[in-house]
A and B are shown apart, each in its own frame.
Chain A
Amino acid sequence: MRTGRGSHGWLRAPLIAAMLAAATVVALACGGTSSADKTATAVAGGGGSTPASGATSAATSAATTSAGAGGTITIKKGDSIKIGISTTLTTDNAQLGLPIRDSALLAIKDKATIKGFTVVGDPQDDQCAAQPSVDAANKLIADKVAAVLGPMCSGGAVAALDPYSKQNLLVISSSATNPSVTQLGKKDFFRTAWNDATQGGEMAKYAYTTLGKKNAVLVNDQSVYGKGLMDVFKAAFIKLGGKVVSEEAVTVGEKDFSPTVTKIKGENPDIVVFGGFIAEGAVLVRQLGEAGVTASFMGADGIADQKWIDQSGGKAEGAYVSRGPKPTDTTLYDKYVAAYKAAYPGKDAPQFGEQTYDAMHIILNAIEQVATVNANGDLVIDKDQLIAAVKAVNYQGASGQIQFNDVGDRTVVGAVNEIDQVKSGKFVRVQ
């Protein structure tokens, strides 16, 4: 059917231009992480972060901070203490984000009141992307939250830490792992997930030394997290003596990566390493398997979830997945898993769940520690003291011992990088 001139023919050219422009805007908004990616890499270029052991020295500075210099949060008598939760509630990445919210709410349930004030969670959708994370930040600031758990993704954190730090608001992310996030120099930011500088190095070591892999193809999802993790892996893998045959990328939201798979097949690597999230990771491992690629597959904490195995059509069998910090003694972890399953029947404990649960407990403990009730019966929280309390923390949680270094990164003590292998459709811990 061809269209003739029609009575509105003269409108066509500008209208199509407008529609194309609209489509481009929508497409860009969707893949918005890629533009943030460049900023992040530029920032990350400043030098590798070294998890220092300065955590304990910070403790003393807490006491000397003059009250009120960084502002206070006052919660009127009868109101509740709101804790912001910035995570991904919509888009396909919500399969990681919703369980983060649930784990955070579970921790709040453990500590439902502080000094007679009810604690409530305030979940906002950050869509794992830069601008929505800033929007979530503005909403949470307007909601007058006492502290924030999140943002979920590194790309979002890089963008959203600015508005938070202007308010001197305590922010703890349980899942934003890119090295650049703690290189922004925000004094109010901490994370209970390991910096990818740690995880990427651990993965490279395992692939090269333990598995004996020499030729790797790296695939990332063009997110700050995925690209950043693969960059760290690459550097560490080459340093160990391995060879990176090629670096590929996939587009978030697509469901067919067969051209990329065909290319990888031709390159004949002995391991394919992926930095990204569940949806794309499942498609990739399935299509690699179906194409007859026999190389081992290795992924990281972004896919370390049973849902990834379930969506992989049985092709994840034998794959290795790094899960981030796990304690050597799993008593507290097992307790958390039992609590999660009891609270959300029919659901498995999710990836990032224990780190989220710990992060929320650290926030609530710190509030309890520094909050005071004034003469009017209002609850007053000194922001500087709150941040100092978190900085000095030495918390024994479900994900192991948690201490922060002077840039807010979790230190590498009291936990090892867990690596699992998929056996008979389940994760089995091998390290």
Chain B
Amino acid sequence: MQEWIQLFIDGLTIGGVYAVIALGYTLVYGVLRMINFAHGELFMMGAFTGYYTLNGFEKHSSLNDQVPVFTIGLAIVLGMVVAVVLAILMERIAYRPLRHAPRLAPLISAIGVSIFLRNVMLRVTEAQGKVYPAVFPRTTIEYGQIHVLYVQIFLITLSLVFLLLLYLFIERTKIGTAIRAVAEDRGTAALMGINVDRTIVMTFVAGAALAGASGVVYGMYVTTVTSGMGFIPGIKAFTAAVLGGIGSVPGAVAGGYFLGITESLTTKVFGAQYKDVVAFVLLVGVLIFRPWGIFGKREDKRA
């Protein structure tokens, strides 16, 4: 029993990461009907920003020991800032010029941005994995056979906080309302006086801020960050978003946790080599019966 609880916690950890990244996919899909494949790389850039920040403090001061709350907080904020700046740039340079191009063009452009960012970091790091300084104590809470790292609890909690903040942002703020309006109908939203370009940028900003911050905390959890680290979580989060119903915020969250926990439990039952198989079989199964995903809204048939 304890082993299953442990697996559930493991799944919750990675599931939270998938959920937060999946939100970025779903938000952008909502307003632009495009998949931003470079989203996983924003997560990776956030993780590297966190590394360089904390490593800088480690090398040139003793602030990591004295005020770890400040340095970790700053690392998270800088991770957000870098991811946001990159997201604004990629929207402006790689996606906006293609707004009216055939709809597969921005998709290819996104894959290009993804490859570009990965290789920039490969160059910068000379292909070396970078190791986070041990700012966050790597101690565990033990209960029988169950062990949970404090940083893991931090990651799980922060994922939930991010999800809540995003929900409030979308539901309660003026920009959030504008994002929902543009997602509903871009043309009508523009007629109602909503600045569509600005709203689209804000959508990228919201998703990127979450990915960047999540990258920093994930980096602290996994300790070693590499230029390729955003790729698999990116693909998994995309899967989670489709599973939950792409364009749906609760769907992305549910899909993320569902995928993370399924993977974890599958590892015990079938072995880790089959976890992707099980996850994708589930995805196909869901899409056969509910092509719009678990939480997605059914499209009306066109007359």
26 CB contacts below 8 A, A to B, read: A3-B29, A4-B185, A11-B103, A12-B33, A15-B33, A92-B129, A254-B232, A255-B226, A256-B10, A256-B13, A258-B13, A259-B7, A259-B11, A259-B264, A259-B265, A259-B272, A260-B272, A263-B268, A265-B3, A286-B223, A290-B140, A290-B147, A291-B147, A292-B142, A292-B147, A311-B131
A337 within 8 A of B: no
Contacts of A15 in B (CB 8 A): 33, 103-104
Contacts of A290 in B (CB 8 A): 138, 140, 147, 149
Give the top 8 A-B pairs by smallest Cβ distance, nearest first. A94-B127, A259-B267, A249-B273, A3-B247, A258-B10, A255-B222, A259-B264, A311-B224
Contacts of A4 in B (CB 8 A): 183-185, 297
For the A-B complex, the count of residue pairs with Cβ-Cβ distances under 8 Å equals 177
Contact of A283 among B127, B224, B235, B248 (CB under 8 A): B224
A30 within 8 A of B: yes
Contacts of B247 in A (CB 8 A): 1-3
Contacts of A253 in B (CB 8 A): 228-229, 231-232
A313 to B232, CA, bound (A): 23
Are A265 and B145 in contact, CB atoms less than 8 angstroms apart? Answer: yes
Q: Please report A residues at the B interface, Cβ cutoff 8 Å.
A: 1-13, 15-16, 18-20, 22-23, 26-27, 30, 89-92, 94-95, 97-98, 222, 246-251, 253-260, 262-263, 265-266, 278-279, 282-283, 286, 290-292, 307, 310-311, 313
Given A22-B107, A279-B224, 19 more contacts at CB 8 Å? A1-B179, A3-B248, A7-B186, A13-B299, A15-B103, A92-B226, A95-B127, A95-B129, A248-B272, A253-B228, A254-B232, A255-B222, A256-B13, A259-B10, A259-B272, A262-B10, A283-B222, A290-B149, A292-B142
Contact of A3 among B35, B221, B242, B297 (CB under 8 A): B297
Q: How far is the CB of B166 from chain A (nearest CB, A)?
A: 10
What's the dominant secondary structure at chain B's contact region?
Answer: helix
Q: How far is the CB of B151 from chain A (nearest CB, A)?
A: 10
Contacts of B140 in A (CB 8 A): 290, 292
Are B224 and A10 in contact, CB atoms less than 8 angstroms apart? Answer: no
Are B232 and A251 in contact, CB atoms less than 8 angstroms apart? Answer: yes
Given A90-B122, A290-B149, are A307 and B300 also a contact pair (CB < 8 Å)? no
Q: How far is the CB of B177 from chain A (nearest CB, A)?
A: 10
Are A310 and B232 in contact, CB atoms less than 8 angstroms apart? Answer: no
Are B128 and A27 in contact, CB atoms less than 8 angstroms apart? Answer: no
What's the dominant secondary structure at chain A's contact region?
Answer: helix
Contacts of A8 in B (CB 8 A): 33, 103
Question: What residue in chain A is nearest B297 (Cβ atoms)?
Answer: A2
A90 to B231, CA, bound (A): 14
A265 to B231, CA, bound (A): 28
Are B273 and A97 in contact, CB atoms less than 8 angstroms apart? Answer: no
Q: How far is the CB of B25 from chain A (nearest CB, A)?
A: 10
Contacts of A248 in B (CB 8 A): 271-273
Report, as a range, how many residues of chain B touch the other chain.
35 or more
Contact of B300 among A5, A97, A283 (CB under 8 A): A5
Q: How far is the CB of A100 from chain B (nearest CB, A)?
A: 11
B68 within 8 A of A: no
Are A9 and B299 in contact, CB atoms less than 8 angstroms apart? Answer: yes
B302 within 8 A of A: yes
Contacts of B224 in A (CB 8 A): 255, 279, 282-283, 311
B170 within 8 A of A: yes
Contacts of A258 in B (CB 8 A): 10, 13-14, 264
Contacts of B275 in A (CB 8 A): 259
Flag B167-182 by CB within 8 Å of A: 1 or 0 each: 0001000000001100
